[in-house]
Amino acid sequence: MGASAIATASTHEPPAPSTTAATATGTSTASEAIPVSDDDTADVITVETDGSGDFSSVQEAVDAAPAGATVRIGPGVYRGPVVVAASDLTLVGATGDPRDVVITDDRASGLPKPGGGTWGTSGSASVVISGDDVHSRDLTFENSFLREEHPEVTSTQAVAVRTTGDRLVFDNVRFLGHQDTLYANSPNTETTSRQYYRNCYVEGDVDFVFGRGTAVFHGCEIRSLDRGSDSDNGYVTAPSTPPEQEFGFLFTESCFTSDAPPESVYLGRPWVPSSDLDARPQALIRDSWMGRHFKEQGWIEMSSGHDWRQFQLREFANKGPGALNTPDRPQMSAEEAAGHTAEAYLAGSDGWNPVREPARPVCTARGR
């Protein structure tokens, strides 16, 4: 998504600001895990880098796992792309600390791929989850591509995770990247894919939460990386909600942090793909803490002819130095906000409700 620019990953951790939001750390082992199975006899497949588990490759373990199985991944860095096409599967880091288990690759949209051509945005993903009812917990998903190491590449979109499955849960998971980190998508414009992110950490600089999925970020830290500019350090969201889909992105009880200079980051920009010119992008940020890196003009168009004001890009009851109420930061009314809850976004026609209260404080700048 969007144009590239040189970015620098921040390693500084500002003090946690005061906030009433219940939120995430991604480094604690004390979180209340979301139940994934009532079957105590479910298969457990182990992965260890030293070969002491059932497999040493995450992909091999996923391919071998039967429905209902848990893939328990030992500490280490697992390099290479992973595709989770099977449904009803749990991926869990063995230590409970997501920093200990990293699944990573370093492809970017503009890098050449075997057989000719380039990877493209979708093909750049380190991890693809297309199966339904896949739960991930206590893991890090990363795209380690760095622009400064590839000055010859102009298309620098580099996805850490691309999702198209329904009823997906991510609990205490880190998503690391720069441009297009998390592609919260669906298989097509006619199919709604619901995704619940609890106690997670997502970082990036350009459009780093994007796609047409119905995604709820609950008690998460959303961290904008400093690209080295005094005035333009990117965009957080780029929703592309289909016109018949009721909901897009919801960020609730979360925290938006950055080391970037004040007023240098946009909340987002609507993505109207050439393949879906009828898209009606939606994003709501509510009951969250917002750092001073956000601009007074919260939203901006991505391409000409698609003015952000015609879409549902709004805020409600946020706090912090970046929670501004200006003509370019539309606020949702309390009456309407009553119907925009995590439960409402995820219910669908089957009444799915994975929602649990976040268990830990946020705004701890848990980055690289």
| Whether the Cβ atoms of residue 108 and residue 63 lie closer than 8 Å to each other | no
| Whether the Cβ atoms of residue 150 and residue 178 lie closer than 8 Å to each other | no
State the Cα–Cα distance between residues 24 and 201, nearest whole angstrom.
Answer: 7
Element (H, E) at 255: strand 255-258
| Whether the Cβ atoms of residue 77 and residue 97 lie closer than 8 Å to each other | no
Catalytic residue flag (residue 207): yes
Find the catalytic residue in 207, 226, 259, 287: 207
In our burial notation (b when 16+ CB lie closer than 10 A, e otherwise), range 68-103 reads bbbbbbbebebeebbebebebbbbbbbebbbbbbbb
State the Cα–Cα distance between residues 14 and 280, nearest whole angstrom.
Answer: 36
58: three-class secondary structure by DSSP: helix
Find the catalytic residue in 88, 97, 138, 180: 180
In our burial notation (b when 16+ CB lie closer than 10 A, e otherwise), range 274-305 reads eebeebbbbbbbbbbbbbbbbbeebbeebeee
Name the burial class of residue 57, with classes exposed (0-12), middle (13-18) and buried (19+) by CB atoms within 10 angstroms of its CB.
middle
State the Cα–Cα distance between residues 299 and 326, nearest whole angstrom.
Answer: 11
Catalytic residue flag (residue 43): no
Residues marked active site are found at 180, 207
